Chain A
């Protein structure tokens, strides 16, 4: 079945360092979404990418959708302690169904 893998599974960074998580799908995606889940919280939508090669920025966060629409990345510049959490990508699998990636847990050391 369709799988969405993320690497790394865990990442510890020093505050101020950059961070990148990669999302790889076994199938082509019509779009991809990114969510952030703070410790003890619920997933919160960050962004959606639709076009091949699309790049979107939100302040220190840069999101990219691969040319083949099978992979995506999230890059955070100069991490802050507020960036702590688990980052998920999610893609559609047919209708009314999302497959979430395995997640990357980010820990930021002050």
Chain B
């Protein structure tokens, strides 16, 4: 069983389109995250959710809207895609993120290419 899964694995789309990425974890974790990894491999946090509630929004443009329907799912919707949104997006989860003391489990990533 995959601990953290993401769909789709690859996403190729044109500028201006709207797209969604889905994430599910079967680890029973309370906290979930979205990260963006750019072409230089820099890994930057975008959002943190704890028990379905948004905790961290790391100055991400409003075009990005996360949604957590329940503790096991965290989706990411992106409106009006821009070239600069091209990156690999990773979902992650941890048992509890309050003091960042627990290891994070990452999903396989979604490679988004905006043309």
Which of A's residues lie within 8 Å of B, judged by CB?
Answer: 30-31, 33, 35, 37, 41-45, 48, 50, 86, 88, 90-93, 95-100, 102-103, 105
Contact = CB atoms under 8 A, between A and B. Distances in A.
A6 to B, nearest CB: 11
B104 A45 contact: yes
A103 B58 contact: no
B68 to A, nearest CB: 13
Contacts of B103: 33, 45, 48
B101 A31 contact: yes
Q: Which range holds the interface residue count of chain B?
A: 20 to 34
A100 B108 contact: no
Given A42-B90, A43-B43, A86-B41, A97 B100 contact: yes
| A interface secondary structure, majority | strand
Contacts of B109: 42
Contacts of B48: 96-97
Contacts of B44: 100
A88 B43 contact: yes
A95 B98 contact: yes
